[in-house]
Amino acid sequence: MNIRIQQLGKRFGAFPALDGVSLDIRSGELLALLGPSGSGKTTLLRALAGLEQPEHGRILFDGEDATALSVQARRAGFVFQHYALFRHMDVRANIAFGLEVRRGAQRWPKARIDARVEELLALVQLDGLGGRYPTQLSGGQRQRVALARALAIEPRVLLLDEPFGALDAQVRRDLRRWLRELHDRTGLTTVFVTHDQEEALELADRVAILNRGRIEQVGSPGEIYDRPASPFVYGFVGEANRLPARADGDALDVAGARWSRPAGLPDAAALDVYVRPEDMRVGDAGDWVGTVLSVQRSGARARLRARLRGAAVDVEVELPPDAPSYAAGQVVALAARRHGVFPASLAG
């Protein structure tokens, strides 16, 4: 199912949770809503589910205006971070709940409900656990039950609100792989909220970055990481060194280095250049001369921190596995392989 969000707005008091959000979600894709706390990502997800009513704007499901539809009429499967399972019900009853509460012509025969529950137990790899209660399951198993319950009603769209946030790191990694495989098998349009950039980049077909109730950028994980559209995206997705710069005729002065001025760069009193640590390199020649402050190793990774001569700017460099050893106080040449340039007023 295709979803089109048009100029959606929602305020909580004076706080604009959603500030004119527009977004097209493609049929069958897995889309991540990524952003810090308070960015509006959960409010947007709840608006899609019908759990929040926007003050203006529209939500279209396959071209149909769904903005005023009830939660039930939208047929959206919703999975909460903390499972929201019924403790007094076993796994089978939890999965069947959305089907059991239907009334009238929408009510399925018991045999059909039972068959659907068994099908979902197999799909989420919980065969043989239907008679257990939530307290008898691990966190990862409970989250699978919550997903099966959401899928039981044959939803048009699956909505996940930080589904792995309550789990430890190893279980999260395992469930991420499983969810990606599950999505590929079901083909459901799926939207999930996360503040974990690694999770979003690993799982999603596309990522929408939210900040202060607005969308900063939408793109594939590669586009988001390699070509950030704003200083916020540079800083939020991955890490970046921030270097002061200014335009000087046809040249760009970057912390003392002279580069060619990029085409289309607007005139601005102050500019910032963003360079990811893995896009900085140490060599015999470069853009800057720096003094090594420290080298830190984390497993197979090593990161060098240096101060640029004459600029009083510190930068971090991700060292390749075959890099030579460096020591504090050593003078090195540094260069940028890839970068982004923005007016300094956009930062923050």
Kind of pairing between the strands at 76-79 and 157-161: parallel
- 202 shares a domain with 291: no
Residue 166: per-residue pLDDT:
66
For residue 137, pLDDT over 80 is answered with yes
53 versus 173: the higher-pLDDT residue is 53
- 253 shares a domain with 195: no
Per the prediction, the chain carries an average pLDDT of 91
Total residues found in the chain within this entry:
348
Of 234, 251, 285, the residue that ends a domain is: 234
Range of the domain at 53: 3-234
For residue 348, pLDDT over 70 is answered with no
Residue 69 banded pLDDT, cuts 50, 70, 90? very high
- 163 shares a domain with 72: yes
Percent of the chain with pLDDT over 90: 72
For residue 345, pLDDT over 90 is answered with no
Give the DSSP per-residue string, 282-325: EESS-SEEEEEEEEEEETTEEEEEEEETTT--EEEEEEPTTPPP
- 246 shares a domain with 224: no
Of 181, 215, 234, the residue that ends a domain is: 234
pTM here is: 0.89
CATH code, domain with 154: 3.40.50.300
- 118 shares a domain with 215: yes
Enumerate residues 6+ apart whose C-beta is below 8 A from 152: 95, 96, 97, 98, 99, 116, 117, 120
Residue 133 banded pLDDT, cuts 50, 70, 90? very high
For residue 168, pLDDT over 60 is answered with yes
**Cα–Cα distance measured from residue 240 to residue 170, given in angstroms and rounded to the nearest whole number:** 27
Sign of CA dihedral 35, 220, 161, 91: negative
The 10s digit of each residue's pLDDT in 214-246 is 999 999 999 999 999 999 999 899 999 999 998
Poorest-pLDDT segment among 59-68, 263-272, 287-296: 263-272
- 147 shares a domain with 46: yes
> Mean pLDDT throughout 37-60?
96
CATH code, domain with 291: 2.40.50.140
Q: How many structural domains compose the chain? A: 2
- 190 shares a domain with 286: no
For residue 87, pLDDT over 80 is answered with yes
Of 181, 209, 234, the residue that ends a domain is: 234
Looking up tokens 């769209």, which residue turns up? 157
Cβ 143 vs Cβ 85: under 8 Å: no
- 17 shares a domain with 118: yes
From the list 7, 5, 11, 19, the residue with the least C-alpha distance to 210 is 19
- 262 shares a domain with 143: no
For residue 171, pLDDT over 60 is answered with yes
**Cα–Cα distance measured from residue 87 to residue 297, given in angstroms and rounded to the nearest whole number:** 45
